[in-house]
Chain A
Amino acid sequence: MSYINKEEFAEMVKTYQLELYRLSFAILRNEADAQDAVGDAIVKAYEQRRMLGSKEKFKSWIMKIVVNTSKNMLRSKHQIVYIEDMPEMKVGASEKRDEVWDAVLELDYKHRVVVVLYYYECFSAKEISQMLHIPEGTIKSRLARAREKLKTLL
């Protein structure tokens, strides 16, 4: 099986660069960290591009890598700054505000991720389940809870 070359890889990353940032930001809620996480994820994906089964799966594949990379960064960041610097984890002042997006960011971590993948990226519950290694039923219940919460926020 031939794997994607650098040009194809770059083109696909460019296609989804906004989505990658949005997903990472939803997890990290910090501009600089989200950019770093996307950068790390792109390098990781490039180095492992031989493992990509088919180009059609590129988006879900790289988004999963973004989720893993961002989660790892969130944990290490959280661990380091948990006492003295938590405000840094909030939305940056330069972030353009959007009522819906702000409401999504108010959700807790588990719900934010599924909301972004489901509503923003239009993955099905089954696809999200496969991406996150979480049962489909759990994804659906998280979506239901997220909807309830969004009702109160919007």
Chain B
Amino acid sequence: MNNLTDEKIRKLVADSKVEPPEGYEDKIDSLLNQLDESEKKTRFAWKRAAAIFIIFLLVGSAGVYATISGRNRNLENLSDTQKQQFLDDASEANTERDSYSRELSDTEEERLEELKIAYNIEGKSPQKSLSLVAYGNQVTENKLCFVTSESKFYFPEREMTDEELLEIIDFYYKRDYSIRALGEKNVQSRTTVPEDHIVQLAEKYVKSIYDIDLSGSKYTLDKIEDSEITVYLVGISTKDAERYEVTFQPDSDMFDSVTKVNSDNFVDDIQVDRQLYREKLTDTKDIIEKFADLRQIAGSSINYVYKDDGILKNGIITYAFEMSDGSGYFLYYSCAHDEIYSMVYMKDMNSYYEVLENNRKVEERLGFRREKVELDPVVFLSE
């Protein structure tokens, strides 16, 4: 059929019968009848979820930014029932914060950091799930568990094993993932002074980076406080059911991170494609020049991690741009989505290099290679 015009295709399509499987219409009818019920099921614990998760990631780790919205493949197998249970437990707890029966030892903290990276990078998971009990009187002495009504971890007095630390990590990620997944269905609009200003900034940044129309979107704003950090998190849910998140440090009009929250940016079946990463430089340039003078770029690089078989780890590429004042921009490209899904700004690149070095050691131990392709700023300007 060499002369296949639009008109001919439309005629062929008009005669084409694509029928849904038997029972499809009944399923739709049933679903439509249950809609009110499904709406009531959704409960809102967004603020709490964001708070506990980001604090968990931030404390002791400056490498939080790329993973704030990251989704580990360990999470994809969670059933709706499991997710709902996490949400229910979090909502019914009598406190907004997690607490612990004791502090972690230095070595536990150190291993926790390494295991977090292994969990994210390698998909390393615990043999079993963290033991959950409803009330404090159900705690078994010297055994790791989490009391849902108190939102409290009970640690054994002895040094915890890697398995136990992984159970804690796994629990945190799964709880966060579940609450976010369900919480997104019930986003509330809250814009009060002075936070309005932050919401407007967040909107501006999202529009600028992703070039989208945000009319009809809903906004959330949360101030996440801990003894060590304070972060503002603005969530934007568009009328097309897409979600964006922007984080800010207090008293700063510049974002920490702007992220398009995709259900899963991580894939593990994509070959390294150096040519493609070069081609995407044009996209990064288009974004960077909205925020900075390209002539002030002191150094730039394309960064990725891969295995011996050439498979790109997580399907994510990082474009790093160090500015002449010591600050830096990072753009995260998702091969799965074929888009820049996140942008991070760091006032001081040194903290990034510390994280990078820490990650590199763990990656090497896990058999990964990190490649950093340095770019000549002049080349970048001419791309």
A interface residues with partner B (beta carbon < 8 Å):
6, 9-10, 13-14, 17-18, 21-22, 25, 31, 35, 38-39, 42-48, 51-53, 61, 64-65, 68-69, 72, 75-76, 78-80, 82-83, 92, 94-96, 98-101, 119-120, 133, 147, 150-151, 154
Contact = CB atoms under 8 A, between A and B. Distances in A.
A98 B17 contact: yes
A52 B239 contact: yes
Interface of chain B, helix or strand or loop or mixed? loop
A17 B25 contact: yes
Given A68-B241, A80-B73, A96-B19, A133 B212 contact: yes
Contacts of A44: 185, 241
Main secondary structure of the interface of A (DSSP, over half): helix
B204 to A, nearest CB: 18
A80 B13 CA distance: 33
B42 interface: yes
A47 B268 contact: no
B220 to A, nearest CB: 14
A68 B238 CA distance: 12
Given A6-B36, A22-B18, A44-B185, 13 more contacts: A9-B32, A9-B35, A21-B24, A45-B241, A47-B186, A51-B239, A72-B262, A79-B264, A94-B21, A119-B10, A150-B4, A151-B2, A154-B12
A119 to B, nearest CB: 5
Interface residues of B, number: 54
B76 interface: yes
A35 B17 contact: no
Contact of B32 (A10, A18, A52, A147): A10
Interface of B: 1-2, 4, 6, 9-10, 12-13, 15-22, 24-25, 27-28, 31-32, 35-36, 38-39, 42, 73, 76-77, 185-186, 210-212, 215-218, 237-242, 262-264, 266-269, 336-337
A79 B36 CA distance: 33
A42 B32 contact: yes
